[in-house]
């Protein structure tokens, strides 16, 4: 019921905001989005206090929290139902989504000054889809939400974006849509080769895990082929090298609140789906392919960080560094250890908060300076002390400063992958290589901060540069507090994540 | 023990002062300074209480807060380890921080500085982080606070962010130490993965060990061959001693970065861009000591690896000499002190590497006092000189600021190692330990010790020289500028801390007059007793962090043996005599060259060597080149590759499909007869195809 209520309230709110006058749309959307945000925080609290030891939604359906299943349609032999529910993996992601949406809406008040009702309506519509993605437990339903995210995103970039918005929007849409198609084909090859009668994710997990006698095509087991196709499909969303080039374009063109959602939540759809499908349903194959997948992760870490080093646009810097941070998630997932997989999931939350915070900081600066180029401004600390203070804190969070969420996520991943059985003797080497990311990230963020925030103030404007408004800084402060809270007490999320990760570790190879 | 119950407040008080100064500092008198002074004063009192309790034979090693509990096989915790070593370090950090806060009233508040809340918030956060590092009972917690002090260092070096120099220096400091911390982090992760714990000392309950420490597990693996539980060895395919050496060297990366040892020392001289009290607190007495302290903290682990010991000793000896030579030609007073700091930490590393655990901790203690004194003295001079730091513009300040002069002189005598000032006793012990272990130990390790010893010994001469060159140029002779003729007076808040430190710099060496103790048989080597504990039972038996245990490991596992080439007493006297003689020689040469009324720059006589020394052996140049000449261009090339090739393929695919679409579109001509033709043609082809496949023909 709870999930349905969240979906319904947000959906009704979407309609309401679309119909409201532009003047009130921003405030109204913020008020409406506060409902699912507070609702999911309440659910989080209930989960934290009452659902200790809950298992994995896909592997032990009896343990699903806030579950609801209603029959819907029948496709041939396949039953499709409205089936939603949460576990320790999706609960934090759901809370991340709703909280970040509210904050992103507030952060849009200053920069978005035309067609507000449509902008905020689309933001809420995207929230509906995202809530659905993280709570759906039926493939059909899930896929509807999964694709449903693309439509508002496409429009938000394409209408409110920068000069090359059309190119970026189409690239984003086509790239991720083609990826979805390949994933869909790979998955359905498996669905049709097993005797599934339901498209519910737990049923799929059971069927794929016990599947036998699958056909072999060109010397490869269908399981492996499907795994690769699905990995490809989800990896575009993450994104990993070399499937990442849509991301910087989308980020640079997207308005800041949309970048916040894109980096903070949309990328996690990719890793969430990888965890649910590739690493839970096809865990055996994932273990076999661990080393090549880990290499992809490590290359993403270093490659993304090196590219961030070459950028001059603050948004591009953060965009490329997202590729780097998400590479850690891949490394953690393939480790198949409590700290590895749990850390990867934790890192999704941590990176969602920190990258959202970083983009918001860049946005607040851009609202004032109307430039994001590192060379165009300097000494902003003189004029916007609190914004810059939070910027510096956020940047150190991104660099993995202890007692902030990013360090916890990265440390867990390193700890989990350093002696991961799936990676064998390559484990310490690959982990150590990935760790070098923490040096490069310090390089480009410190460099960018030195050039833009410090030194003598200079910026070519014909107006006074003054501190940002309260409603611009408040979302930053909220996010920073969350980042610190999770860094000091990671068990706020990590404990429930572990509850739902440990069943995944027990299946398959059993290491 | 009641003192241990309140021990967490030692860390928390400065943290509270950080919050108070940050959010309420601008509404408080003195911009938050009073909060900092109260907090560090409180921490100091609590530390004294802890030290007294420890002196009574009690120690404390408990988990305080569980960071993660959900993975049963490996829990990550925060805990307190209060033993003689950490109790001593707590005293040092709290004392220096307290004095620096008071000094800052004169250096920052009286100078009309803006941004005071930010300054005192930084000092508070630093003190809290440093104290957190000191009391950490496990390696992960130590690493976390190690990083946090790095952040504070960054913030405080870059305090004057409106100028160009400080932000750049701050960036460099964080980046260079981060490079070292990269290896440290691998080491931390590796140690947890190998042993399943990062505890420095075992946790016991009622005499039973409930959680073993990693140095002890390593010892069991090497000495008793208990390697069965260590899966990591199989992963890396190494023997225990080999792998533990690798881990030790990885952790050493962080030590080298933070304690500014070669080749990661380059950030420290730049860090002098920060306010001088910050230099005294962070970049001389405490944060830079963190690296050395860490080695001492996990000495039971390093003592198991002769290779790691040799590396530590050689890095230390080399750095001591290398940095001392660079200090010879510097013109700014803080630069001389910065290179001197690097050099002195080299001595501590030399001591640790060559089995002189006590000597290292001793030198750490005395150095914290006399180098903080020298930096604060320099700060007083800088106030007087209106923030001109060039020694060639000074001269003759002796008579105009007597308190500063006499305390600075005490600090200088201690630094140069002149009897009976503090530095003499500690530096002498460092060199003595290296010498006897170098003669006694067989093979490569002994040779390494002797080489390191020789470098350290040579550095004594240079130390005496650059120290007194600084003293003579600053305080003696005629005033060489108008400001030096009429310096700004300093107040009690400057003179007070100087006096306290001046007295300490003169006397603190008496806590461990080992040579006198040996010669007379008087039991006055208090520090030795403090760190050794009771010979049987007591805290060393519980924690295994006592000197006695370490000496056993050094002797039995690494085969570090004492040797006396001239017999015990003559060696002792010869060693002390030689180092004192060299120090005095250095002082005398400085006096000859610079003591006149109007000294001239003799450095020009060095010719090309001067250029080399002024450029610090081109160390900075090559590191900057690595960053801007190699890494950045590589990133640019990769960016080109990304735009051209990776994205090019994506755009290429879309171009191909667009192009294909535009060609195929031509079929859609809109002429009905064309469509009819195509339809018919298609039907015929289909029929033909089916016919052939179906075998109709």
Per-residue model confidence as pLDDT tens digits over B486-514: 888 888 888 999 999 999 999 998 998 88
Cβ distance B162 to A498 less than 8 Å, yes or no, reads: no
Residue B486, pLDDT score: 84
> Which residues in B lie closer than 8 A to residue A409 (C-beta atoms)?
none
Residue A52, pLDDT score: 65
In chain A, % of residues over pLDDT 90: 73
Does the pTM of the predicted model rise above 0.80?
Answer: yes
In chain B, % of residues over pLDDT 70: 99
Nearest C-alpha neighbor of B488 from the set B579, B407, B397: B397
Residue A321, pLDDT score: 92
Cβ distance B70 to A447 less than 8 Å, yes or no, reads: no
> Which residues in A lie closer than 8 A to residue B77 (C-beta atoms)?
none
Put residue B115 in one of left, alpha, beta given phi > 0 → left and psi -120 to 50 → alpha: left
Per-residue model confidence as pLDDT tens digits over B569-591: 889 899 999 999 999 999 999 99
Q: Give the integer Cα–Cα distance in Å for B232 and B603.
A: 55
* Mean pLDDT confidence for B262-276: 92
**A168, A307, A397: best mutation site toward chain B, by most B Cβ within 10 Å?**
A307
Q: Give the integer Cα–Cα distance in Å for B697 and B693.
A: 9
Tokens representing residue A304 in the block: 């993304």
Burial of residue A374 (number of CB atoms within 10 Å: 0-12, 13-18, 19+): buried
Cβ distance A456 to B638 less than 8 Å, yes or no, reads: no
Q: Enumerate the domain spans of chain B.
A: 1-137, 621-693
Residue A138, pLDDT score: 94
Tokens representing residue A16 in the block: 């309401």
Report the b/e string of B219-245 with b at 16+ CB within 10 A: bbbbeeeebeebebbebbeeebbebbb
Range of the domain at A301: 290-511
Report the gap between the CA of A416 and the closest CA in chain B (Å).
8
Report the gap between the CA of A480 and the closest CA in chain B (Å).
15
Residue B435, pLDDT score: 93
Please answer whether residues B349 and B257 qualify as being in contact, where contact means their C-beta atoms are separated by less than 8 angstroms: no
Residue B689, pLDDT score: 87
Residue A316, pLDDT score: 92
Report the b/e string of A443-465 with b at 16+ CB within 10 A: bbbbbbbbbbbbbeeebeeeeee
Please answer whether residues A257 and A104 qualify as being in contact, where contact means their C-beta atoms are separated by less than 8 angstroms: yes
Cβ distance B71 to A342 less than 8 Å, yes or no, reads: yes
User: Facing residues of B77 across strands?
Assistant: B66
Task: Give me the residue from B70, B175, B185 closest to A443, CB to CB.
Answer: B175
> Which residues in A lie closer than 8 A to residue B623 (C-beta atoms)?
none
Rounded alpha-carbon distances, angstroms, from residue A167 to A72, A242, A367, B305, B656 = 38, 19, 23, 60, 16
Tokens representing residue A500 in the block: 């739902």
Per-residue model confidence as pLDDT tens digits over A103-153: 999 999 999 888 999 999 999 999 999 999 999 999 999 999 999 999 999
**A395, A455, A511: best mutation site toward chain B, by most B Cβ within 10 Å?**
A455
Rounded alpha-carbon distances, angstroms, from residue B175 to A408, B164, B171, B340, B428 = 20, 17, 6, 22, 35
Residue B339, pLDDT score: 94
Residue A508, pLDDT score: 59
Rounded alpha-carbon distances, angstroms, from residue B667 to B662, B664, B683, B687 = 10, 6, 17, 22
Task: Give me the residue from A428, A443, A457 closest to B235, CB to CB.
Answer: A428
**What is the greatest pairwise CA distance in chain B?**
122
Map tokens 């530390």 to a residue: B47
Torsions phi, psi for A230 (to 5 deg)? -70, -40
Residue A2 lies in a domain: no
Burial of residue A22 (number of CB atoms within 10 Å: 0-12, 13-18, 19+): middle
Nearest C-alpha neighbor of B11 from the set B173, B108, B177, B124: B124
Cis bond before residue B420 (omega within 30° of 0): yes
Per-residue model confidence as pLDDT tens digits over B330-372: 889 999 999 999 999 999 999 999 999 999 999 999 999 999 9
Nearest C-alpha neighbor of A58 from the set A167, A195, A245, A201: A201
Task: Give me the residue from A244, A425, A431 closest to B237, CB to CB.
Answer: A425
Per-residue model confidence as pLDDT tens digits over B592-635: 888 887 888 877 777 788 888 888 888 888 888 888 888 889 99
Q: Give the integer Cα–Cα distance in Å for A341 and A322.
A: 19
Model confidence band, residue A441 (pLDDT cutoffs 50, 70, 90): very high
Model confidence band, residue A275 (pLDDT cutoffs 50, 70, 90): very high
Size of interface A-B (CB pairs under 8 A): 146
Residue A511, pLDDT score: 39
Please answer whether residues A190 and A223 qualify as being in contact, where contact means their C-beta atoms are separated by less than 8 angstroms: yes
Q: Coil, strand or helix: which one is B208?
A: strand
Per-residue model confidence as pLDDT tens digits over A481-504: 999 999 999 999 999 999 899 889
Domain count across chain A: 1
What does B302-315 look like in DSSP terms, one character per residue? HTT-HHHHHHHHHH
In chain B, % of residues over pLDDT 90: 58
**Least confident stretch, A320-324, B5-9, B329-333, B595-599:** B595-599
* Mean pLDDT confidence for B423-446: 91
Residue A397, pLDDT score: 94
User: Facing residues of B81 across strands?
Assistant: B61
Residue B1, pLDDT score: 64
* Mean pLDDT confidence for B255-264: 92
Say if residue A353's pLDDT is above 60. yes
Residue B491, pLDDT score: 87
Say if residue A181's pLDDT is above 70. yes
CA B99 remoteness from chain centre: 21
Which of the pair, A298 or B607, is modelled with greater confidence?
A298
Residue A53, pLDDT score: 62
Say if residue A510's pLDDT is above 60. no
Q: Give the integer Cα–Cα distance in Å for A76 and A65.
A: 30
CA A292 remoteness from chain centre: 23
Cβ distance A307 to B631 less than 8 Å, yes or no, reads: no
Tokens representing residue A25 in the block: 């749309």
Q: Give the integer Cα–Cα distance in Å for A395 and A320.
A: 14
Per-residue model confidence as pLDDT tens digits over B36-84: 999 999 999 999 999 999 988 889 999 999 999 888 888 899 999 999 9
Cβ distance A455 to B167 less than 8 Å, yes or no, reads: yes
**A454, A481, A492, A493: best mutation site toward chain B, by most B Cβ within 10 Å?**
A454
Average pLDDT, chain B: 90
A336-340, B30-34, B417-421, B544-548 — most confident range: A336-340
């Amino acid at each position: 019921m709870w999930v349905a209520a969240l979906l319904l309230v947000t959906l009704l709110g979407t309609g309401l905001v679309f119909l409201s006058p532009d003047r009130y749309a921003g405030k109204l959307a913020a008020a409406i989005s506060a409902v699912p945000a507070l609702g999911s925080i309440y659910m989080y609290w209930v989960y934290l206090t009452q659902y200790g030891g809950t298992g994995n939604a896909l592997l032990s359906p009896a343990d699903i929290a806030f579950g609801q299943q209603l029959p819907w349609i029948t496709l041939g032999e396949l039953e499709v139902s409205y089936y939603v529910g949460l576990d320790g993996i999706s609960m934090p992601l759901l809370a991340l989504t709703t909280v970040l949406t509210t904050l992103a809406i507030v952060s849009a008040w200053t920069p978005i000054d035309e067609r507000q009702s449509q902008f905020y309506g689309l933001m809420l519509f995207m929230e509906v889809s995202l809530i659905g993605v993280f709570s759906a437990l039926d493939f059909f339903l899930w896929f509807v939400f999964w694709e449903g995210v693309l439509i508002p995103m496409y429009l938000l970039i394409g209408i409110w974006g920068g000069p090359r918005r059309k190119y970026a929007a189409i690239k984003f849409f086509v790239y991720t849509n083609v990826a979805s198609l390949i994933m869909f084909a790979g998955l359905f090859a498996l669905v049709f080769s097993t005797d599934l009668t339901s498209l519910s994710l737990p049923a799929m997990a059971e069927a794929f895990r016990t599947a036998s006698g699958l056909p072999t095509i060109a010397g490869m087991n269908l399981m492996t082929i499907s795994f690769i196709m699905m990995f490809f499909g989800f990896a575009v969303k993450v994104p990993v090298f070399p499937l990442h080039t849509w991301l910087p374009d989308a980020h640079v063109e997207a308005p800041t609140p949309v970048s916040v959602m894109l980096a903070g939540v949309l990328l996690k759809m990719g890793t969430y789906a990888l965890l649910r499908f590739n690493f839970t349903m096809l865990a055996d194959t994932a273990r076999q392919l661990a080393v090549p997948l880990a290499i992809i992760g490590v290359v993403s870490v270093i490659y993304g960080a090196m590219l961030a080093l070459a950028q001059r646009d603050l948004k591009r810097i953060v965009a490329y560094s997202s590729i780097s941070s998400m590479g850690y998630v891949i490394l953690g997932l393939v480790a198949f250890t409590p700290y590895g997989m749990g850390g990867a999931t934790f890192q999704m939350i941590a990176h969602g908060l920190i990258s959202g915070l970083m983009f918001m900081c860049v946005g607040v600066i851009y609202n004032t300076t109307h430039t994001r180029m590192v060379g165009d401004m300097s000494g902003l600390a003189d004029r916007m002390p609190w914004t810059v203070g939070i910027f510096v804190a956020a940047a150190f969070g991104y660099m993995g400063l202890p007692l902030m969420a990013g360090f916890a996520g990265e440390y867990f991943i390193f700890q989990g992958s350093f002696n991961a059985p799936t990676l064998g003797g390559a484990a310490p080497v690959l982990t150590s290589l990935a760790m070098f990311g923490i040096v490069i990230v310090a390089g480009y963020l410190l460099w960018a901060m030195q050039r833009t925030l410090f030194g003598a103030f200079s910026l070519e404007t014909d107006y006074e540069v003054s501190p940002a408004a309260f409603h611009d800084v408040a979302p930053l402060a909220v996010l920073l507090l969350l980042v610190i809270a999770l860094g000091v007490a990671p068990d706020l999320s990590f404990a429930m994540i572990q509850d739902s990760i440990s069943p995944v570790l027990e299946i398959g190879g059993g290491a | 023990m009641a003192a241990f119950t309140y021990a967490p407040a030692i860390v928390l008080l400065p943290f509270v002062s950080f919050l108070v100064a940050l959010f309420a500092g601008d509404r408080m008198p003195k911009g938050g300074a009073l909060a900092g002074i109260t907090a560090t004063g409180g921490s100091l009192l609590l530390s004294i209480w802890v030290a007294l309790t420890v002196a009574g034979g009690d120690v404390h090693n408990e988990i305080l807060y569980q960071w993660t509990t959900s993975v049963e096989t490996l829990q990550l915790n925060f805990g307190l380890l209060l033993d003689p070593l950490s109790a001593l370090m707590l005293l040092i950090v709290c004392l220096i921080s307290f004095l620096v806060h008071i000094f800052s009233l004169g250096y920052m508040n009286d100078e009309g500085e803006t941004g005071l809340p930010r300054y005192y918030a930084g000092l508070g956060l630093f003190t809290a982080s440093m104290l957190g590092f000191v009391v950490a009972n496990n390696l992960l917690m130590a690493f976390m606070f190690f990083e946090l002090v790095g952040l504070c260092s960054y913030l405080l070096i870059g305090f004057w962010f409106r100028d160009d120099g400080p932000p750049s220096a701050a960036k460099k400091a964080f980046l260079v130490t981060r490079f070292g911390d990269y290896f440290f982090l691998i080491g931390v992760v590796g140690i947890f993965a190998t042993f399943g714990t990062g505890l420095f000392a075992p946790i016991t309950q009622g005499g039973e060990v409930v959680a073993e420490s990693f140095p002890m597990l390593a010892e069991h693996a090497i000495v008793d061959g208990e390697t069965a539980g260590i899966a990591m060895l199989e992963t890396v395919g190494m023997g225990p001693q080999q792998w533990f050496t690798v881990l030790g060297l990885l952790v050493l990366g962080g030590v080298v970065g933070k304690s500014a040892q070669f080749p990661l020392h380059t950030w420290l001289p730049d860090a002098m861009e920060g306010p001088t009290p910050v230099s005294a607190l962070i970049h001389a007495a405490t944060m830079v000591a963190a690296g050395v302290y860490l080695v001492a903290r996990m000495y039971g682990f390093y003592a198991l690896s002769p290779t790691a010991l040799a590396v530590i000793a050689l890095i230390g000896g080399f750095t001591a000499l290398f940095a001392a030579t660079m200090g010879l030609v510097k013109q700014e007073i803080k630069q001389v002190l910065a290179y001197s700091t690097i050099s002195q930490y080299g001595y501590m590393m030399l001591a640790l590497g060559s089995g002189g655990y006590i000597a290292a901790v001793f030198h750490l203690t005395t150095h914290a006092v006399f180098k903080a004194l020298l930096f604060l003295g320099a700060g007083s001079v800088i106030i007087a000189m209106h923030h001109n730091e060039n020694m060639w513009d000074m001269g003759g300040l002796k008579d105009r600021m007597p308190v500063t002069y006499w305390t600075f002189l005490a600090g200088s005598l201690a630094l140069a190692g002149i009897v009976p000032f503090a530095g003499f006793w500690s530096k002498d012990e460092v060199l003595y330990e290296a010498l006897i272990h170098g003669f006694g130990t067989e093979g490569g390790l002994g040779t390494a010790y002797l080489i390191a010893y020789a470098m350290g010994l040579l550095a004594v001469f240079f130390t005496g020289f650059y120290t007194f060159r600084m003293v003579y140029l600053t305080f003696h002779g005629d005033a060489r500028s108008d400001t030096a003729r009429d310096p700004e007076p300093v107040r009690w808040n400057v003179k007070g801390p100087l006096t306290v430190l001046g007295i300490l710099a003169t006397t603190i060496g008496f806590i461990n007059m080992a040579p006198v103790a040996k010669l007379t048989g008087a039991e006055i080597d208090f520090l030795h007793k403090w760190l050794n504990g009771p010979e049987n039972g007591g805290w060393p038996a519980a924690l295994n962090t006592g000197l006695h245990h370490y000496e056993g490991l050094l002797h039995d596992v690494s085969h570090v043996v004492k040797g006396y080439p001239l017999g015990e007493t003559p060696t002792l006297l010869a060693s002390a005599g030689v180092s004192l003689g060299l120090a005095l020689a250095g002082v005398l040469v400085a006096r000859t060259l610079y003591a006149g009324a109007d000294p001239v720059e003799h450095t020009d006589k060095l010719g090309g060597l001067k250029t080399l020394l002024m450029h610090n052996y081109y160390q900075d140049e090559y590191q900057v080149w690595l960053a801007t000449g190699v890494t950045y261009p590589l990133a640019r090339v990769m960016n080109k590759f990304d735009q051209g090739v990776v994205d090019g393929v994506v755009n290429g695919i879309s171009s191909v499909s667009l192009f294909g679409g535009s060609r195929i579109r031509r079929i859609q001509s809109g002429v009905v007869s064309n469509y009819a033709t195509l339809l018919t043609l298609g039907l015929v082809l289909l029929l033909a195809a089916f016919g052939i496949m179906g075998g109709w023909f």
